[in-house]
Amino acid sequence: MEINKRKRILVTGGSGFIGTNFIRHTLHVKPDWDIVNLDSLTYAGNPHNFQDLKSDQSGRLHFVLGDVRNENLLSQLFSQNNFDSVVHFAAESHVDRSILGPKVFLETNVNGTFALLGESLRSWEDRKRPNDFRFLHVSTDEVYGSLGPHGYFTEETPYNPSSPYSASKAASDHFVKAYFHTYNLPAIITNCSNNYGPFQFPEKLLPLMILNIIEQKPLPIYGDGKNIRDWLFVLDHCEAILQVIERGVPGNTYNIGGNSERQNIDIVHLLCDLLDKRLGRSGKDTSRRLIRFVSDRPGHDRRYAIDATKIERELGWSPQFKFEEAINITLDWYLGNMAWVKSVRSGEYRKWIEDNYEDRENLSI
Ligand code: NAD
Ligand code: TYD
């Protein structure tokens, strides 16, 4: 009888939003996987996200505090661990922050990916190029730029990034592709749409609006509120990543989407209505009154929409959660985890809210 070999996976940025969900999901569904989480714990990383794990799962998770750009540390980690695969989430991830301070996006997203590629390649070659090693680079649909009212991003859509964030992700994607073509490193890229779900840092649209509605603060909508994003529940994304690690073809890109295009304003209306119902608010207290149309984000992409036919056809993955169902799960999570919210809204968070919103017109309540 063949006994399944245990797998040891390096996850970078595992203390952020998607990484946390990925690690928690993977420990649950892959009992023969051990995970090393390398994270430098920027404002977006939370060391407490795994505190509640049961010992059979926490014993398979090892945390390393460190920077993905630190080649000496990476070299040590790879030689100590012989990783079977790498899942690379670590990045600066917020478009508005990239507008106010682009440099760290270049440094983390490009140099960090470059350092990780180099050490992954060295380790893979030292170990005589194991066939099943995968370098999975988690990227974004934003590398493709902005769509008009029609059409979808496919894996063949030319790159056309607009923000410093998407430019840095596009550059890192090109390095990943180059390491496959030049050195045969078995690398795969996934480009996904906007994720939502538990543990998302409250600077992004959904958690920011959820918390502002709960606390009855103004709801800042950029521009006319008609920008469209495709929304992907984070657990659907995590499952897609697992399928790509196990069955994806090296050198390929897979687009991952939620088949849930929505205008920002419609999402905010929905959140207001669902939370009002839960919190028993009606009449003059309804939360839609908190909506404020504020000055637009510079270079604001109008629409993103993913054609996820390839991953569906080749790997049999499709999103399992309906948008309204997963929004309700997300709302319940935030309502039930206000202590988590309090812990991540540190002094740094308050400064960010001031920097990003104080000069926008029309934000008074
Ligand atoms: P996040 O900002 O919530 O988390 C990023 C994590 O990376 C944090 O834990 C942070 O501490 C860590 N990190 C940052 N710089 C680091 C460094 N130099 N060394 C080590 N760790 C570092 O991001 P997220 O929303 O979880 O996104 C994860 C990945 O998915 C990113 O690569 C992002 O570009 C991509 N992505 C995200 C979305 C989304 O909707 N959130 C959509 C598409 C793609
Ligand atoms: P965001 O969550 O920052 O994700 P991304 O820019 O990567 O798509 O923003 C989602 C959409 O919501 C985007 O069109 C910008 C808009 N938005 C607002 O209208 N107000 C806000 O306060 C924020 C943070 C975003």
**Total-model pTM:** 0.97
At 106 the pLDDT is 98
DSSP secondary structure code for residue 197 in this structure: S
* Position with higher pLDDT, 215 vs 3: 215
Measured in Å, residue 278 CA sits from the centre of ligand 1 at 31
At 365 the pLDDT is 47
Which of 18, 109, 162, 222 maximizes ligand 2 atoms within 8 Å of its Cβ, making it the mutation to test the pocket?
222
Taking residues 104-125, what's their average pLDDT? 98
Residue 23 CA neighbour count, 13 Å, CB half = 34
Taking residues 248-265, what's their average pLDDT? 98
At 158 the pLDDT is 98
Name the residue at shortest CA distance from atom 41 of ligand 1.
195
Residue 281 has pLDDT above 50, yes or no: yes
Smallest-distance ligand from the CA of 14: 1
Pick the catalytic residue: 141, 173, 203, 230? 141
Residue 356 has pLDDT above 60, yes or no: yes
Supply the mean pLDDT for the chain: 96
Listed by start position, the domains of the chain span 7-200+230-261+298-322
Taking residues 289-293, what's their average pLDDT? 98
At 311 the pLDDT is 98
The CATH superfamily of 7-200+230-261+298-322 is NAD(P)-binding Rossmann-like Domain (3.40.50.720)
96 is catalytic: no
165 is catalytic: yes
The tens digit of pLDDT for each residue in 304-345 reads 999 999 999 999 999 999 999 999 999 999 999 999 999 898
Sequence-separated (6 or more) residues with CB below 8 Å from residue 10: 35, 36, 38, 77, 78, 81, 83, 85, 86, 87
Measured in Å, residue 343 CA sits from the centre of ligand 2 at 23
Q: Is 45 in the pocket of ligand 1 (CB under 6 A)?
A: yes
- 132-166 exposure pattern, b = at least 16 Cβ within 10 A, e = fewer: ebbbbbbbbbbbbbbbeeeebbebebeeebbbbbb
Taking residues 180-204, what's their average pLDDT? 98
Q: What percent of the chain has pLDDT over 90?
A: 92
